[in-house]
Amino acid sequence: MNSISYQAPSNIALVKYWGKQGNQLPLNPSISFTLSACRTETKMALSEKIESGMDVELFFEGKRNEVFERKIIAFFQKLEGDFPFLREHKMVIHSSNTFPHSSGIASSASSMAALAMCLCGIEGGEVDLKKASYIARLGSGSACRSVYPQIAVWGKNNTISNSSDEYAIPYAEEMDEVFHSFCDTILIASSGEKSVSSRAGHALMDTNRFAKQRFAQANENLINLIGAMREGDLERFGEIVEEEALTLHALMMTSNPSFILMKPATLLMIDEIRKFREDTKHSVYFTLDAGPNIHLLYPASIQSAISPWIDEKLKPLCENGIMIKDQVGHGPSTI
Ligand code: PMV
């Protein structure tokens, strides 16, 4: 095979990975929903090589992008042992995202997962998802969770015997069906560039005074969240997920240097979500990435009931009214 195309989705962590060691190994386990609408589509074509050294051309959204190209070359150099064809061919890669570049949505998880699927698939045969997850992890930690449908767990922990720091494992089968189609409406509070890269953010945990308690909390939250999700306990799910989101931001605020990544609109949205939940008893919860945008999480069964509220109260708080309607999805596929 000399050409292959894959799409891979982004994912949203419910228990957050924040802090790493060694070669992209997590300091605590994490669990995520694999999304569906926010994804990267990547085509990789191999041809005869003329230049010496690693020969890669990278086109992002149709245009040659030399910044991304250098990153990919550095990544491929680490993978030469796993994929000898990387040394032997010229590679032309075309990549594009289904979500707007300036939406503040991180694309590293979906792009590294799509690339890992291409690398693992180009030699033919069915892709070994464990290997794809391992390769994606080397590109961007959280990307290792994006190769599986619906729900994935990454990081060695006491609850799941086959869990590993090296790759994620699929975990949807264990969970109540309500979580197989959960909705995630992403509310764009601000689309500006992040003030801290995720690499720098993880490094802040090396000196954060709450690091030890945090890693213990993440392990506990993982056990409790898995219990709640098995039982379909939405209330407990929401409590843990919101605690995780706010802890992630509390850690950033208490790091040195410190970062406040929430925006005024983020807080207004959180207030509105909690008020609506209190008033209506609807199961609506929020989580956050390392940025200001809210991921509004709720069961698909209440989608039409809460949609007028989203449009009336939350949309006006979004930058230029931008929201992305996403949902738990089926993982990567060829295109
Ligand atoms: O995969 P990275 O290095 O971009 O880190 C992702 C960190 C969070 O999104 C904040 C949490 C997570 O588990 O995805």
- 132 and 40 part of one domain: yes
Q: Which residue's entry shows tokens 């069964």?
A: 301
- When divided into structural domains, the chain yields a total of 2
Among 174, 207, 227, the domain boundary falls at 174
Q: How far is the CA of 137 from the centre of ligand 1 (A)?
A: 11
- 245 and 134 part of one domain: no
* pLDDT tens digit sequence for 275-323: 999 999 999 999 999 999 999 999 999 999 999 999 999 999 999 999 9
In a domain, 227, yes or no: yes
Cβ 289 under 6 angstroms from ligand 1? yes
Q: How far is CA 224 from CA 90, 154, 208, 220, 240, in A?
A: 48, 16, 25, 6, 8
Cβ 198 under 6 angstroms from ligand 1? yes
Among 109, 143, 174, the domain boundary falls at 174
The count of other CB atoms within 10 Å of the CB of residue 173 is 9
* pLDDT tens digit sequence for 220-275: 999 999 999 999 999 999 999 999 999 999 999 999 999 999 999 999 999 999 99
Cβ 140 under 6 angstroms from ligand 1? yes
Q: What CATH code is carried by the domain that includes residue 143?
A: 3.30.230.10
In a domain, 333, yes or no: no
Q: For residue 220, what are the domain limits?
A: 177-327
Give the ligand 1 atom nearest the CA of 140: 1
Q: How far is the CA of 142 from the centre of ligand 1 (A)?
A: 5
45 membership: H or E segment, kind and range = strand 30-48
Q: How far is the CA of 182 from the centre of ligand 1 (A)?
A: 20
In a domain, 335, yes or no: no
CA dist 249 and 92 (Å) reads 39
Predicted TM-score (pTM) of this structure: 0.96
